[in-house]
Structure formats: structure tokens, C-alpha cells
Amino acid sequence: MKTPLTLSLRLLDRLAKNDLIQLAKRTTMNGRLVQAAKKVLAGGHYVSASVGEALAVTVRTGVDKLPHERLSDREYEVLCLIASGKTVSSIAESINLSVTTISTYRARILEKMNLKNNAELTRYALQHGLVV
């Protein structure tokens, strides 16, 4: 049995929805607000262009990936070499790059992976099976 209060609330809800749609039609937003309101009122989801762009960037940058999966190929190589116990100078010599370049790679790896030193880097690599 529907009470007068329930009927009144339903009527207010419908009026509010209709008022929202009417107001949106009068705006100069080229119908985007109308489109969003219709989609939401129909039970769907609406994502603006700016939010869609942010989502695309998130997907493209691989936020859901493991930290080592976001490294470049060279950074990954340096990570594995450091984790296997090699020094920066021996890595530089073995792959024909300068010590400064390898140090830069090491700094980028630590930053991207949110690690503080070689010990943490080595522990991470062992935990994830990157070195044996």
C-alpha cells in the first residue's frame, strides 16, 4: 500500500529529474549536460572527455603494472645486473656505457620503484624472481 508520503516523494523525485533535464536543455553546453543527465537517469554512467583522457593516460602508463614492468628495457637490464651483485663500474664496462650513465639508470630505477638502495632493489628482484 502506497502512503501519501511515498507518493509525494516519488512525485518530487520525478519533478526534480524533469527540472534537471529542462534546465540542462537551456544551457549552452551543446547538449553535453543533457546527454549526461539522460545517461545517468537511465542508470548508466557518464564520463566527460577530460575524465576519459585521464583514464586513457592511466591505462597507457600502466598504473596497474608491477614496478619492474614499468622500467625501460635498459633500466630492467641494469636492475637485474645490480641485483645480481655487480657494481656500477663493472656494469658500465660490460655494456659499454659510462659510469655516470649507469648511475643515472640506477637513480631512475630507485625512483620509479620507490626503493632507497641496492639492498632493497636486490630484495625486490629476488622476491619477484628476476634473479636467481
Q: List the domains of the chain with CATH numbers.
A: 4-61 (no CATH), 67-127 (1.10.10.10)
Per-residue pLDDT at 109:
96
Q: Is the dihedral of CA 118, 121, 125, 126 positive or negative?
A: positive
Helices and strands per DSSP (H, E), number in the chain: 7, 0
- Render pLDDT for 26-78 as a digit per residue (tens, 0 to 9): 654 556 777 777 887 888 887 777 777 777 776 665 556 789 988 999 999 99
pLDDT at 129 over 80: yes
Distances (CA, A) of 59 to 55, 62, 63, 65, 91: 6, 5, 7, 10, 33
Alpha-carbon dihedral sign for residues 105, 111, 116, 120: negative
For 96-108, how does the pLDDT look when each residue is reduced to its tens digit (9 = 90+)? 999 999 999 999 9
